[in-house]
Amino acid sequence: MRIILRALAATAAVAALVLGTGASTVLAAGASAPAAVAHYEFDDAWCFDFGVQLDCTVSHGSLDVTITPDGREMARIHFRELVTSYDPSGVQIGTFKTSSFDRTVFADGGQDSTFSVSRYQGSGPYESCHGGYLLKIVDYEVQVEHFSGPHCS
């Protein structure tokens, strides 16, 4: 669950930074200008040796920002992460996948809405689990918050 919350916090911070820096440029251009659109991608991979197991992580994310002539600022973030665990002899012993989608819209007058959905799935030698999280905030009021899981077998 901490991974999901960390991913959500990081995506919100990146969206706020990009939206905040792009808004002044678009608003200065006037209402007749087309929407400004930007696309960013990031990838990373690393391994961490715990001694009793090795965890290797592969992450991919993308951020799409649109700033319309009427002043609306929209950010869409897609994030995927796969952690594969190995025993000391190199045999795979488990995986953990996380995927999320976040959409944030800021409009003139301080209106704000955020929608976030995350899913996770893990499997190991003894059990497999999955679950998810859904969040919708409109004008700083939580409209929907739903946890699903963990469901393990």
Decide the pairing of beta strands 92-107 and 141-152.
unpaired
Residue 12 phi, psi (nearest 5): -65, -40
- The per-residue pLDDT for range 116-126, each reduced to its tens digit, is 999 999 998 77
Asked if residue 18 lies in contact with residue 11, where contact means CB atoms within 8 angstroms, the answer is no
d(CA 140, CA 44): 32
Number of structural domains (the chain) is: 1
How high is the pLDDT of residue 31?
Answer: 53
Domain range for 67 is 2-152
- The per-residue pLDDT for range 2-56, each reduced to its tens digit, is 344 344 444 444 444 444 444 444 444 455 678 899 999 999 999 999 989 999 9
pTM of the model: 0.70
- 143 versus 85: the higher-pLDDT residue is 85
